[in-house]
């Protein structure tokens, strides 16, 4: 009987702590973050075009492409494909992505395609690509927009976000922000 009362007390304390106090603390902390915890929005000409932390699909040749998404860039169903590297369906999907990339970027050898351009991130919502992934797309975009490659390369290099304190994490480029700047090029 003593154990039952102890268990009930622990359950009640846990419920109050994790269902009331913890969410309240997170809500208060969120009020001091950008956009009050609702995510960092990206505006173009006063119009919301997306969020800084949620990827979007770009498939037009005149834009930089994002990482593929296993969830169709749907933030309500965030997640990966959960298929392993020996799964036949997964390998078929990867090959289709490689083939599509090669059709749109014929000047790039298949060996130079970065893994992130054909594999989805764990969340399926990654908004960033590496500078290498951006650079292998420059020729396609330059041809589609009739803009010199070196001008697009300069744009890519200006959009690189360095690792935190120069140590933590890789260099990244937010694809939506890069494409917005690309549209602003004359």
pLDDT the model gives residue 40? 80
77 vs 59, 71, 98, 123, CA distance in Å? 21, 6, 25, 9
* Helix/strand/coil percentages in the chain, nearest 5: 50, 10, 40
Predicted confidence at residue 128, as pLDDT, reads 94
**Residue 161: count of CB within 10 angstroms of its CB:** 14
Between CA 151 and CA 142 the distance in angstroms is 9
- Domain limits, the chain: 1-32, 44-184
Block means of pLDDT (10 residues each) for the chain, 186 residues, are 89 95 92 77 82 88 93 83 86 94 94 93 89 97 95 96 86 95 88
| pLDDT of amino acid 36 | 76
Give residue 69's Cα distance to chain centre: 9
∠ CA 160-103-139, rounded to 5°: 40
Candidates 47, 86, 63; CA nearest to 55 is: 63
92-124 in b/e form (b: 16+ CB < 10 A) is: ebbeebeeebeeebeebeeeebbebbbbbbebb
Helix, coil or strand: residue 172: strand
Across 1-38, b (16+ Cβ under 10 Å) vs e yields: eeeeeeeeeeeeeeeeeeeeeeeeeeeeeeeeeeeeee
């Amino acid at each position: 009987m003593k154990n039952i009362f102890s268990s009930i007390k622990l359950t009640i304390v846990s419920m109050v702590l994790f269902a009331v106090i913890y969410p309240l603390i997170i809500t208060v902390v969120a009020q001091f973050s950008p956009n009050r915890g609702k995510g960092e929005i990206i505006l173009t000409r006063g119009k919301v075009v997306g969020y800084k932390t949620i990827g979007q699909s770009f498939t037009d040749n005149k834009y930089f492409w994002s990482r593929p998404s296993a969830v169709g860039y749907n933030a309500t169903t965030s997640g990966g494909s959960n298929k392993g590297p020996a799964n036949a369906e997964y390998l078929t999907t990867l090959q289709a992505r490689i083939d599509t990339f090669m059709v749109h970027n014929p000047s790039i050898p298949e060996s130079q395609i970065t893994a992130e351009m054909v594999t989805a991130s764990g969340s399926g919502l990654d908004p960033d690509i590496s500078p290498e992934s951006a650079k292998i797309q420059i020729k396609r975009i330059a041809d589609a927009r009739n803009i010199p490659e070196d001008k697009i390369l300069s744009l890519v290099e200006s959009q690189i976000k360095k690792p935190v304190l120069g140590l933590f994490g890789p260099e990244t480029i937010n694809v939506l922000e890069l494409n917005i700047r690309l549209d602003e090029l004359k």
